[in-house]
């Protein structure tokens, strides 16, 4: 992968394009250890890989980053297949039905309006710090039923764990230990002061003893808090960056907000909030084209790479907010592990973008000549900061 890490941060699309031209599967380095894994890069192969039982989740594998194998953080549904995955997913799936999400709409709108009110009168802002992060984070905290405390500290640990997904650094170990202690404290406090929110229900399922053990409980809370905000922050930030770089598209959405849902699907395809899935292990050898992946190999599915596959998407490197094939994107995955929070992310994205375009008719990039401040790492595609002029 050449310069690998830097290019995968600044221009992953160019790297993925070269990989797609070179073959069906790419070999990639796994951190600094010298070990390699495989990356699935074509749309058809990605859909197949996401449903093939030969590519399995492996929460206890010694190939996983040390920071992520703490039982209190890793025993969640993203790391299991089959019956365990179904059991864990079922416990929270009712909270994420379209009907439940629609019932949250007024509260999401209220939070968005409040954040926008805080920006009114300011000449400039960082859209990530001041809007794209606090909006979904507050929503997921309220949905789960945890207090809005230590937000920046939590965000710091979350950033380290997802930005340095394959790292075994002391910083990663510290972040995971701090995160686990934080989640355990949340659970303990909610156990002593139960309410009608999701976390109290999960605690009851855990205390019943047959549906959720203590590590599964803390892991599920960790997953909901991190996955419940990280990708939506990226969706809002990526969408606003693209719109501010294309004022004609921004003007079209401002004049007709009904176009925003379709625009969000194109943003999800064009600048996917997630670059690759988390780790899968080949439990048996599996072949894509002329590449056979040996049993025991680490495999990632390149969602972002698949979403620019020209055999599926017409003119894939063009941002077209009216395209008819955008819905085929794999930004939320595919199959049994399809993102449970997709309806919530779409709703939050629509409210967030519509609110900003309506409130700030003169909004523009704050430093248009500087390259975007992309977060590092192979897992997520999102901005660390997005400075804007508001008036």
Q: Work out the mean pLDDT of the chain and round it to a whole number.
A: 91
Contact assessment for residue 57 and residue 81, using Cβ atoms and an 8 Å cutoff: yes
| pLDDT-based confidence at residue 34 (cuts at 50, 70, 90) | confident
Q: How confident is the model over 52-67, as pLDDT tens digits?
A: 999 998 654 555 554 4
Per-residue model confidence (pLDDT) at position 244: 98
Report the predicted TM-score, pTM, of the whole model to 2 decimal places.
0.94
Q: How confident is the model at residue 185 (pLDDT cuts 50, 70, 90)?
A: very high
Distance CA 60, CA 84 (A): 14
- Tokens representing 21 are 């031209």
| Mean pLDDT within 265-290 | 95
Mean pLDDT in residue range 283-308: 95
What is the model's pLDDT at position 173?
Answer: 87
Whole-number Cα distances in Å, 148 to 47, 133, 143, 194, 293: 38, 13, 12, 16, 45
Residue 116 has pLDDT above 90, yes or no: yes
pLDDT at 1: 39
In the predicted model, what is the mean pLDDT of residues 201-225? 89
Q: DSSP strand E in the chain: where?
A: 25-29, 36-40, 55-56, 124-126, 280-282, 286-288, 291-293, 298-301, 364-365, 373-374, 383-385, 387-389
Domain ranges of the chain: 5-389
- 306 vs 211, which has greater pLDDT? 306
Determine the CATH number of domain 5-389.
1.10.630.10
354-370 average pLDDT score: 97
pLDDT reported for residue 24: 94
pLDDT > 90? residue 172: no
pLDDT for res 105: 97
């Amino acid at each position: 992968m050449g310069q690998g890490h830097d290019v995968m941060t600044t221009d992953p699309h160019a790297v993925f394009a070269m990989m797609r031209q070179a073959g069906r599967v790419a070999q990639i380095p796994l951190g600094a250890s010298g070990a390699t894994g495989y990356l699935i890069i074509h749309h058809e192969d990605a859909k197949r890989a996401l449903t093939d039982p030969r590519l399995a989740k492996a929460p206890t594998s010694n190939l996983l980053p040390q920071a992520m194998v703490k039982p209190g953080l890793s025993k969640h549904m993203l790391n299991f297949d089959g019956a365990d995955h179904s059991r864990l997913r079922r416990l929270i799936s009712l909270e994420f039905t379209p009907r439940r999400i629609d019932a949250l709409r007024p509260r999401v709108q209220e939070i968005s309006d409040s954040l926008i009110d805080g920006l009114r009168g300011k000449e400039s802002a960082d859209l990530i710090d001041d809007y794209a992060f606090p909006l979904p984070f507050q929503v997921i905290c309220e949905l789960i039923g945890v207090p809005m405390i230590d937000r920046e500290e939590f965000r710091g640990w979350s950033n380290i764990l997802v930005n340095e997904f394959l790292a075994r650094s002391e910083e990663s170990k510290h972040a995971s230990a701090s995160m686990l202690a934080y989640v355990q404290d949340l659970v303990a406090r909610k156990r002593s002061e139960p309410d009608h929110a999701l976390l109290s229900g999960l605690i009851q399922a855990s205390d019943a003893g047959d549906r959720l053990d203590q590590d599964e409980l803390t892991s599920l809370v960790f997953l909901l808090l991190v996955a419940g905000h990280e990708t939506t922050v990226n969706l809002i930030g990526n969408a606003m960056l693209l719109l501010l770089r294309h004022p004609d598209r921004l003007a079209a959405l401002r004049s007709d907000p009904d176009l925003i849902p379709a625009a969000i699907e194109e943003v999800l395809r064009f600048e996917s909030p997630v670059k690759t899935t988390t780790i899968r292990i080949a439990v048996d050898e599996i072949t894509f084209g002329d590449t056979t992946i040996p049993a025991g190999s680490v495999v990632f599915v390149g969602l972002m790479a698949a979403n620019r596959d020209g055999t599926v998407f017409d003119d894939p490197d063009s941002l077209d907010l009216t395209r008819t094939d955008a819905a085929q994107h794999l930004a939320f995955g595919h199959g049994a592990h399809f993102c449970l929070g997709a309806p919530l992310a779409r709703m939050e994205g629509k409210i967030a973008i519509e609110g900003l375009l309506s409130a700030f008719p003169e909004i523009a990039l704050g430093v248009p000549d500087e390259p975007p401040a992309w977060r590092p790492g192979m897992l997520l595609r999102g901005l660390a900061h997005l400075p804007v002029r508001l008036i």
